[in-house]
Copies of this chain bind each other. A is one copy, B any other.
Amino acid sequence: MSRLGSQSTYRGRYNEPVPTSNIMEDDADLPEFEPFDDDDVTLSEATPRGPAPGGGTLSVCVVDMCQPINKPNHQTVGYDIQNLVVRRGLEFLVRITFNRPLSGGDDFQLEFLIGANPSASKGSMVVVTFGSRQGGAWAGRVVENEGASVLVGVTPTPDAIVGKFRTYVAVVAARGMQRTRRDQSTDVYVLFNAWCPDAVFVPDEAARREYVLNDYGVIYQGEATAISQRSWMYGQFEKGILDACIYILDVSRMPIYNRGNIIQLVRKGSAMLNSQDDNGVLVGNWSDDFSMGTSPTLWTGSVNILLKYVNGGVPVCFAQCWVFAGVFNTFLRCLGIPARVITNFSSAHDNTGNLKTDLIFKPDGSPDKRHTRDSIWNYHCWNEVFMTRPDLPAGLGGWQVVDSTPQETSDGHFRCGPASVAAIKEGLLCHPFDAGFCFAEVNSDVVFLKRDRYGTLTPFRVDSTHVGQAVYTKAIGSDTPFNITQTYKHREGSAQDRQTMDRAEEYGCARDHSELPESQLSVIMNSDKANLGQDINLLVDFQNQGDTPRTVQAHLCGSVNFYTGVEANRFKDYSFSVTVPPSQSERVVVRITPQEYLPQLGSQLSLHFVVTGQALDQSVSAIKVVNLQTPPLHLMVSGRPQVQQEMFVTVSFTNPFNFVLENVHLALEGPGLMHYRTRHYNVISPQATISWQEAFMPRMQGPRRLIAALDCNNLRQVSGIADIMIDA
């Protein structure tokens, strides 16, 4: 049944359909002259029928939204948009020029309307008065009254609906209200406000500048011990982006009435950023085949994605988690919501809603891909939003997890959060939304199980430290990774940590309590930094804590994995044996050559090694993820770094491999500097260098960044940046 159809079968439920869009037919609004309902009853007696008081009928000549004053006050100068943008809870000014000076008997009001059938009781029609007569919830005052021109101040309440309001001035005439004509240039966008007493208030100015105003940033990837970073252009101020964010809410059919509620709004946003169920913004694709769209690794920012979505009206192909998180961050900051992208290294994606990630091994010690259902993502990106949680007990406000990457798990929700980070830390999983799911992502135990010949599983090792190794976000004011693991978890093994885990278990998170044989043998695996195309040295250290020598039958398995932990191709199966003297350790160095892994690589850059060992009754196991470092992309900038002056950037790249790169795409953009541009090369020969020059003209001043990416079927994750300081 179509949604439109449902309106007609719902006639008996609502007097008017609940409005769900900011878009408004111009002629469907309030009448220009609205006679008083009660005219005949009382007013004809009370008011003289002659000309109105004050020397002729009062009428409105000009309504000026005072952008040059309001925008700096509201920190909205950056928005590349014709209309005024304000943040709620803070006064903005409007100058009204009448046909004559006001006199004592004159009465007028401002009216702000949003959505169809605006309603005073729902906050979608707000009447602002300037005298003794009572108006709606937004405060109004006359700031200055000079001749025929009146400067008034209007303060939207800190819980006002967020979106695009239509502005009218209505003059009280003898028999009714005389209203200005609809004028799109006086439409005003009302945003959340991190500077004021609002649900998203942030006390610190540097934090506000980073989390609301910064229009580019860094997203961390790779692995916890070898973090790589990728710059991302949020571009929340670019032309068309604010309208795109409101368009997303309109597509979601979220009732206008609820759009002042930050909890409902971010939850809806997390659902709308992915295309599942709701024709949302981005289509996820975790395969190797991106031929029907843009590879997730080619995007350099959110702007082009959002504009594509608005112009095409269909979901944009393709995204993986950092793309979902990057675009969601744009959506949030654009609407004035303090937000950041975080990366959780070794992120558990179970879930039957428990705290166990089960990895299953065959009797010979090799991973049993067929029977393993869970996976640990090398990393997973989500967003955090800073806000109060009046719906929860005290202490659970602050940063909240929201995640727009579609989780096929859980009970089919393709939305996640807001979940209080503080609640996750304390194991208070009894509160909405999805706290248990987020808790498992950072806290799952990894259970290593051996599957016997009859199909029965027996646990032989539990690793409670592997998952959620580290949580990082970009530091305020720099590109440095800022470790926020301690906001999610107490120190592993501390008393508080145990308390948290116990509490989580009380709230129904099933944990593993397998009784394991006490182990006197252990293994750890490390590697040096690994560059794509070069040798990798794997250091496998067996330790014998017992007092007799032990001979270990070991098996090392190497595979190319998706970053989601799922095996793409296996390239190494190596059995060996090592004898470890009592109370000593023995190192085995395994050299992995590019001849082994390059042919299996596909588009993936993540190698996954599992070693298992068996010594009589003892089983040991270790996992090591090696992320291959890609060659650099160089950006060089020339020209005078000044607003509205032409500048040039040259992107260059040298193919370091002895094979040809084919069908190579490059992308380039910079917020306030340059819109998204692309370039295509059919081939880049071995050792060949390509060079691409583009001109651009800075729109915004201050520190700015150009971001470039290179992408082809057998080389992804290549990017580069250039930072420029633009003068005014």
Chain A positions within 8 Å of B, measured between CB atoms, are 1, 6, 8-16, 18, 36-38, 41-43, 109, 111, 119-123, 125, 127, 129, 133-136, 170, 172, 177, 252-255, 257-258, 261, 264, 267-268, 275-277, 283-289, 315, 318, 349, 351-353, 358, 360, 362-364, 369-375, 390-393, 408-409, 411-412, 429-433, 436, 449, 451, 453-458, 506-508, 562-564, 566-568
Q: Which of B13, B391, B566 contacts A564 (CB 8 A)?
A: B13
Q: Which of B358, B408, B432 contacts A121 (CB 8 A)?
A: B358
Interface centre among A13, A14, A253 (most CB of B within 10 A): A13
A360 touching B121, Cβ below 8 Å: yes
A430 touching B122, Cβ below 8 Å: no
- Residue pairs across A and B with Cβ atoms less than 8 A apart, 24 shown, are A1-B276, A6-B284, A12-B286, A12-B287, A12-B564, A12-B568, A13-B566, A15-B372, A18-B351, A37-B453, A38-B363, A41-B364, A42-B363, A120-B451, A121-B358, A129-B454, A133-B454, A134-B456, A177-B454, A254-B411, A267-B411, A391-B507, A391-B508, A430-B432
B6 touching A276, Cβ below 8 Å: yes
Q: State A285–B370 Cα separation when bound (angstroms).
A: 47
Q: Which of B349, B372, B391 contacts A429 (CB 8 A)?
A: B391
Asked whether A122 and B373 contact (CB < 8 A) given A287-B11, A288-B11, A363-B41, the answer is: yes
B371 touching A119, Cβ below 8 Å: yes
When distances are taken between beta carbons in the complex, the residues of chain B under 8 Å from A375 are 13-15
When distances are taken between beta carbons in the complex, the residues of chain B under 8 Å from A255 are 351, 408-409, 411-412
How far apart are A630's CB and chain B's nearest CB, in angstroms? 18
Q: State A109–B429 Cα separation when bound (angstroms).
A: 39
B38 touching A453, Cβ below 8 Å: yes
A109 touching B286, Cβ below 8 Å: no
Closest to A453 in B: B36
Q: State A10–B286 Cα separation when bound (angstroms).
A: 5
Asked whether A119 and B373 contact (CB < 8 A) given A6-B276, A172-B454, the answer is: yes
Asked whether A125 and B353 contact (CB < 8 A) given A268-B411, A568-B12, the answer is: no
Q: State A375–B10 Cα separation when bound (angstroms).
A: 13
Asked whether A14 and B408 contact (CB < 8 A) given A134-B458, A391-B430, A429-B391, the answer is: yes
Which 3 residue pairs of A and B lie closest in terms of their CB atoms, listed nearest first? A12-B562, A12-B286, A390-B508
Closest to A277 in B: B277
Q: State A374–B16 Cα separation when bound (angstroms).
A: 10
Q: State A656–B431 Cα separation when bound (angstroms).
A: 56
How far apart are A488's CB and chain B's nearest CB, in angstroms? 20
Q: State A78–B424 Cα separation when bound (angstroms).
A: 46
B436 touching A433, Cβ below 8 Å: no
When distances are taken between beta carbons in the complex, the residues of chain B under 8 Å from A252 are 412
Interface centre among A15, A121, A374, A390 (most CB of B within 10 A): A121
Closest to A5 in B: B283
Closest to A286 in B: B12
How far apart are A3's CB and chain B's nearest CB, in angstroms? 8
B37 touching A363, Cβ below 8 Å: yes
A1 touching B283, Cβ below 8 Å: yes
When distances are taken between beta carbons in the complex, the residues of chain B under 8 Å from A15 are 369-370, 372-373, 375, 566-567
B364 touching A38, Cβ below 8 Å: yes
Closest to A261 in B: B353
Q: State A18–B372 Cα separation when bound (angstroms).
A: 11
A315 touching B1, Cβ below 8 Å: yes
Q: State A119–B288 Cα separation when bound (angstroms).
A: 26
Q: State A411–B261 Cα separation when bound (angstroms).
A: 10
B10 touching A351, Cβ below 8 Å: no
Q: Which of B258, B360, B411 contacts A264 (CB 8 A)?
A: B411
How far apart are A577's CB and chain B's nearest CB, in angstroms? 15
Q: State A353–B259 Cα separation when bound (angstroms).
A: 11
B412 touching A254, Cβ below 8 Å: yes
B9 touching A287, Cβ below 8 Å: yes
When distances are taken between beta carbons in the complex, the residues of chain B under 8 Å from A267 are 411
Q: State A170–B408 Cα separation when bound (angstroms).
A: 33
When distances are taken between beta carbons in the complex, the residues of chain B under 8 Å from A353 are 258, 261, 264
How far apart are A673's CB and chain B's nearest CB, in angstroms? 33
How far apart are A41's CB and chain B's nearest CB, in angstroms? 6
Closest to A360 in B: B121
Q: State A435–B315 Cα separation when bound (angstroms).
A: 33
Q: State A612–B591 Cα separation when bound (angstroms).
A: 89
When distances are taken between beta carbons in the complex, the residues of chain B under 8 Å from A14 are 373, 375, 408, 566
When distances are taken between beta carbons in the complex, the residues of chain B under 8 Å from A370 are 15-16
B12 touching A430, Cβ below 8 Å: no
Asked whether A258 and B352 contact (CB < 8 A) given A10-B408, A267-B411, the answer is: yes
Q: State A276–B41 Cα separation when bound (angstroms).
A: 47
Closest to A406 in B: B6
Q: Which of B109, B286, B436 contacts A454 (CB 8 A)?
A: B109
When distances are taken between beta carbons in the complex, the residues of chain B under 8 Å from A507 are 390-392
How far apart are A38's CB and chain B's nearest CB, in angstroms? 4
Closest to A42 in B: B363
When distances are taken between beta carbons in the complex, the residues of chain B under 8 Å from A111 are 455
How far apart are A567's CB and chain B's nearest CB, in angstroms? 7
When distances are taken between beta carbons in the complex, the residues of chain B under 8 Å from A456 are 120, 127, 129, 133-136
Q: State A563–B13 Cα separation when bound (angstroms).
A: 9
How far apart are A372's CB and chain B's nearest CB, in angstroms? 6
Q: State A351–B254 Cα separation when bound (angstroms).
A: 11
Given A1-B275, A15-B375, 7 more A-B residue pairs with CB atoms under 8 Å apart are: A8-B287, A9-B287, A11-B288, A18-B351, A18-B373, A255-B409, A391-B507
B37 touching A436, Cβ below 8 Å: no
Q: State A464–B392 Cα separation when bound (angstroms).
A: 25
Q: State A125–B257 Cα separation when bound (angstroms).
A: 48
How far apart are A568's CB and chain B's nearest CB, in angstroms? 7
How far apart are A713's CB and chain B's nearest CB, in angstroms? 15
Q: State A606–B451 Cα separation when bound (angstroms).
A: 65
